Chains A and B, each alone.
Chain A
Amino acid sequence: GNSVTQMEGPVTLSEEAFLTINCTYTATGYPSLFWYVQYPGEGLQLLLKATKADDKGSNKGFEATYRKETTSFHLEKGSVQVSDSAVYFCALSGGSGSARQLTFGSGTQLTVLP
């Protein structure tokens, strides 16, 4: 079945530092890939998505590229802000599972210090 593996956290960075959160997946076929963000006390919000190989999803300065050859979807941001502090989840749908449900990684806690 489908599975998602994220780099373990927590990750602590200084403001304006470069961010990378690694995500790899296991799935047959061509799953769709997502990054969701969860701010303290809130539900998950979609950050970005990609549906086929070499697609790049981007939003709010964050980017991730769907790499079929390495089964990866790493999240990057060139200059993080304190307001980016949150938990980030990599997820997929489709592949060997349903296209209507999400399989999530375990999340990566990001703390950005001023």
Chain B
Amino acid sequence: DAGVTQSPTHLIKTRGQQVTLRCSPKSGHDTVSWYQQALGQGPQFIFQYYEEEERQRGNFPDRFSGHQFPNYSSELNVNALLLGDSALYLCASSLASAGTSYNSPLHFGNGTRLTVT
């Protein structure tokens, strides 16, 4: 049973560029959440996608956008990269019908390490 897979594992971009990160959820899951984890910090919620729509959003600027496809996979796009966007980006999946994070705990991928120079 495949877990959450993310690609690429590492990425180096230059300030001002744009980047796209990809995520495939765990088999049977239909909801994808994205988190940003800066070095030495806990993950911070970016947004969540369900039924191909953004359902919730954290305190991140519009430079961060996403998409969910009919097969439940998802992309995270970041435009106009800043040095401060350097972080580990984590994708997590869950099952919407279970309701809460308690009933359907998030399953995390190993992340994409983004470095902005």
Contacts and interface: CB of A to CB of B under 8 A. Distances in A.
Of B100, B106, B109, B110, the most chain A CB neighbours within 10 A belong to: B106
A113 to B, nearest CB: 21
Given A43-B92, A44-B90, A99-B101, 17 more contacts: A32-B102, A34-B101, A41-B110, A43-B4, A43-B110, A98-B56, A100-B31, A100-B56, A101-B48, A102-B43, A102-B101, A104-B42, A104-B44, A106-B40, A107-B40, A107-B41, A107-B42
B14 to A, nearest CB: 25
Contacts of B107: 46
A42 B35 CA distance: 14
Interface in B25-77: 31, 33, 35, 40-45, 48, 55-56, 58
B3 to A, nearest CB: 9
Interface string A77-114: 00000000000010101100011111111110000000
A104 B40 CA distance: 12
Interface residues of B, number: 28
Contacts of B8: none
Interface of B: 4, 31, 33, 35, 40-45, 48, 55-56, 58, 90, 92, 94, 99-102, 105-111
Contacts of A4: 42
Contacts of B90: 43-44
Nearest to B96: A100
Contacts, number: 73
Q: Enumerate the 9 nearest inter-chain pairs by beta-carbon distance, A residue then B residue, closest first.
A: A104-B42, A43-B108, A93-B101, A99-B100, A32-B102, A44-B108, A43-B110, A46-B105, A101-B45
Nearest to A46: B105
30 contacts: A32-B101, A32-B102, A34-B105, A36-B108, A43-B90, A43-B92, A44-B43, A44-B92, A44-B108, A46-B107, A51-B102, A89-B42, A93-B102, A94-B100, A99-B100, A99-B101, A99-B102, A100-B33, A100-B48, A100-B94, A100-B99, A100-B100, A101-B45, A101-B101, A102-B43, A102-B106, A104-B42, A105-B42, A106-B40, A107-B40
